[in-house]
Amino acid sequence: MSEIVYGLHAVEVLLKRNSDSVERLYVQSNRHDQRAHKLVKLAQSKDIPVSQKSREELDEMTEQRHQGVIAISRQLRKKQYHEKHIPELLDAVEGEPLVLILDGVTDPHNLGACLRSADAAGVNMVIAPKDNAASITDVVRKVACGAAESVPFIPVTNLVRTMKQLQERNIWIAGTAGEATQDIYQANLTGGLAVVMGAEGDGMRRLTRENCDFLIKIPMAGEVSSLNVSVATGVTLFEAVRQRQN
């Protein structure tokens, strides 16, 4: 089974990390810039066939914004993570774990951006519900710019049960909510920590909120009452990173 990977950065990450899964690289025929040339050389160095196609032909292969490069890949050799892998992933963490929980994020672009922030912040795993939430797709991979391959993404059947398992391992769970009494700069975000980000619009579900150890918020100075979930994820995670470096 093959899949399409598109976009300059996503294709570059694929060629570097999973080159043996790539069957062919297609490059837009009128692209002669340095970034496209770099991908061609990288593919050729790994004995991957390279073909040129017109913009129109590439558009027919995917409706997404491909930036003039498309790779055809056999099913990626990325490990598929399940709930049973959570203990072993935590056991392998050096220092205090940092976990991101996404409570029903449905937009694949938001999921990809959250994964990208998680990777940059050194998050050990991203947990999300199996149902009524975005999963890893080619759109997510492109937006994530390689983070979908580097950060363990774990869909779970019962989010509250998983949260309790984390708490049993001395991981504190901080839920983000506009009505929280303390902001991210006042809260203690050191130690074992799982940050919960709610769904677009509705925020965390009731049961998720009730099973958090404490709630935090991002202080808002302007007229806008909230941030996009992926932006809020980045802000919150990097405040945790800042505190943990002190």
Pick out the residues of the known binding site for S-adenosyl-L-methionine: 198, 218, 227
CA angle 131, 137, 139 (to 5 degrees): 125
Cβ–Cβ < 8 Å for 174, 194: yes
Binding residue numbers: 198, 218, 227
Residue 242 neighbours by CB distance under 10 Å? 12
Token reading at 134: 């975005």
Strands (E), the chain: 2-6, 22-28, 50-53, 69-74, 98-103, 125-129, 153-156, 172-176, 193-198, 214-216
Q: Going by C-beta distance under 8 Å and a sequence separation of 6 or more, which residues neighbour residue 208?
A: 103, 159, 160, 163, 175, 196, 198
